[in-house]
Amino acid sequence: MAVLITGGAGYIGSHMVFELLDRGEEIAVIDNLSTGVWWVLPPEANLVEGDVGDDSLLDKVMTSRTFDAVIHFAGSIVVPDSVADPLGYYLNNTVKSRTLMAAAVRNGIPNFIFSSTAAVYGEPKTMPVTEEAAAQPVSPYGTSKLMTEWMLRDSAKAHGLRYAALRYFNVAGADERGRTGQSTPRATHLIKVACQTLLGQRRQMEIFGRDYDTPDGTCIRDYIHVSDLIGAHFDALQYLRQGGESGVFNCGYGRGYSVLQVIKAVEKAGAKKLAVIDAPRRAGDPPVIVAEAERARSVLGWRPTRDNLDEIVSSALRWEEKLLRHNAKG
Ligand code: UFG
C-alpha cells in the first residue's frame, strides 16, 4: 500500500518523504512547487507537479497505484498574508482540501492525516492548551485550517474516512542527515530568520515586542523539532492503519522558550552575536502558546526524542548553511 503526500516538496512534507522512504514505504508526492523545492527530493518520491485542487489530476494519481493513506501538507502558512488575502487562503487551504478529501473518498483511500495548527486556538485562556480548549482562531489562516478539520470530522461520520488532524505548534530544525530543511526564501519564522541573520543574509533582525507579560518581556512558544513532528505523523499513520479512532492531536513538547532565549541559542550555535533591534509588537501574536500533548503520547504512542532547543537550532543552522552553498552554486 502506498502513501500519497501532498506538499511533499515543502519544509515539513519533504521530511515526511524521507521518513517513509527510510522505512521502506512506497510513496507518491503531489506538489505545485509554488514554495516547495524539487531538488531536495529523491526520484523514489515519485513527484507529480500539480495542484491538489485539480480533480482530474488527483483521480489520475490516486488510481496509478493502491494508496491506503493521504498525508496532506500542501497549503499556505503565513499568518499576516492570510489577513491580507483571506479569500486566497480559504481557496488554497479550505476549498482545495475539500477537493482532496472528496477525491480520497471517491477513490476509496481510507486514512487521512492533516497538517493543522495551534492557530486554531487563537488566544487560549489557559496554558498549556489542550485539544478540548475552544477553537477560536484570530486569523483567516487558523480559520482556514479549522474548517478543514470540520470537513474531516463530518466526512468521517458520513463516509467512513478515518483521520488524524495534527495541530502543530512552532516547528523548527532540520533533517539530521542534512537532506532537507526549511527552504522557503520568504520565511518569517523566528529560528530561520535568526539563522539567516547569523549567516549575514539579513543585516539585522527584529524582536517584535519586549513588553509582554512574560518573564523577559518577549513571547513564548513551544518549539518542536521537525523530526519529532514527523514521528507523530508516522505514529498517526500506524494508528489509523490499525483502525484507531479519528481525532485531533496537539504536537508540541509542553514547554516554552522566549524570543530572547531562542536568539541566545542561535548565538551560541554560531558562536557570534546577532544584530538585533527592538520593534513594535506584531499584530495577532499571543504572549504565550504552549501545548499539552499528552493525547498524542497516550493515544498515538508518540515518543519525541529531540526536545532540546540547542539541537533544534543547530540543525536549522546547518541546513541554512547548506542552502546558502546550494544557492551560491546557482
Ligand atoms: N519573532 C520575532 N522576530 C522575527 C520573527 C518572529 O520577534 O523576526 C517572534 C514573533 O513575534 C513570535 C515568535 O517570534 O513572538 C515566534 O514567531 P514565528 O513567526 O516563528 O511563529 P508564530 O508563533 O507566529 O507562528 C507559529 C506558526 C504558525 C502558526 C502559529 C500558531 O509558524 O503557522 O504558530 O500560533 F499559525
CATH number at residue 31: 3.40.50.720
One domain, residues 123 and 73: yes
Pick the closest to residue 78 from 122, 33, 142 (CA basis). 142
Residue 177, in any domain of the structure? no
Residue 178, in any domain of the structure? no
For residue 323, the enclosing domain spans: 190-221+254-328
Residue 292, in any domain of the structure? yes
One domain, residues 165 and 308: no
DSSP string across 204-257: -EEEE-S-SSSTTSS-EE-EEEHHHHHHHHHHHHHHHHTTPPPEEEEES-S--E
Query: What CATH code is carried by the domain that includes residue 285?
Result: 3.90.25.10
In whole angstroms, give the CA distance from residue 291 to residue 226.
Answer: 15
Question: For the chain, what is the domain count?
Answer: 2
pTM exceeds 0.85, yes or no: yes
Residue with cell 504572549: 287
Mutation probe of ligand 1 site: the residue of 221, 260, 263, 309 with most atoms within 8 A of C-beta: 221
45 with 22: CB under 8 angstroms?
no
Percent of the chain scored above 70 by pLDDT? 100
DSSP string across 27-75: EEEEE--SS--GGGS-GGG-EEES-TT-HHHHHHHHTTS-EEEEEE--S
318-116-13 Cα angle (round to 5): 40
One domain, residues 198 and 315: yes
Ligand 1 contacts CB of residue 205 (under 6 A): yes
Ligand 1 contacts CB of residue 262 (under 6 A): no
Q: What distance in angstroms lies between residue 89's CA and the mean position of ligand 1's atoms?
A: 18
194-200-203 Cα angle (round to 5): 80
In whole angstroms, give the CA distance from residue 207 to residue 263.
Answer: 9
One domain, residues 9 and 69: yes
**H or E stretch at 115:** strand 111-117
257 with 288: CB under 8 angstroms?
no
In whole angstroms, give the CA distance from residue 187 to residue 165.
Answer: 24
**H or E stretch at 162:** strand 162-168
Ligand 1 contacts CB of residue 90 (under 6 A): no
Nearest residue by C-alpha to atom 12 in ligand 1: 219
Percent of the chain scored above 90 by pLDDT? 93
Task: Give the strand pairing for 223-225 and 170-172.
Answer: parallel
One domain, residues 46 and 134: yes
One domain, residues 101 and 207: no
Residue 180, in any domain of the structure? no
Residue 139, in any domain of the structure? yes
Ligand 1 contacts CB of residue 207 (under 6 A): yes
What per-residue confidence (pLDDT) applies to 25?
A: 98
Task: Give the strand pairing for 162-168 and 170-172.
Answer: unpaired
One domain, residues 86 and 155: yes
In whole angstroms, give the CA distance from residue 247 to residue 44.
Answer: 31
Which pLDDT band holds residue 327 (cuts at 50, 70, 90)? confident
One domain, residues 79 and 121: yes
One domain, residues 60 and 42: yes
One domain, residues 123 and 237: yes
Average pLDDT, the chain: 96
One domain, residues 150 and 209: no
One domain, residues 124 and 104: yes
Catalytic residue numbers read: 141
For residues 70, 76, 79, 85, the Cα torsion angle rounded to the nearest 10 degrees is: -130
Residue with cell 470530522: 153
Residue 124, in any domain of the structure? yes
For the stretch 135-161, pLDDT in tens is 999 999 999 999 999 999 999 999 999
At which of 233, 251, 269 does a domain end?
Answer: 251
For the stretch 49-79, pLDDT in tens is 999 999 999 999 999 999 999 999 999 999 8
Residue 155, in any domain of the structure? yes
74 phi and psi angles, rounded to 5 deg: -60, 135
For the stretch 81-132, pLDDT in tens is 999 999 999 999 999 999 999 999 999 999 999 999 999 999 998 999 999 9
Mapping DSSP to helix (H, G, I), strand (E, B) and coil, where does residue 289 land? Answer: strand
Cα distance between the two ends of the chain: 38
Mapping DSSP to helix (H, G, I), strand (E, B) and coil, where does residue 276 land? Answer: strand
Residue 103, in any domain of the structure? yes
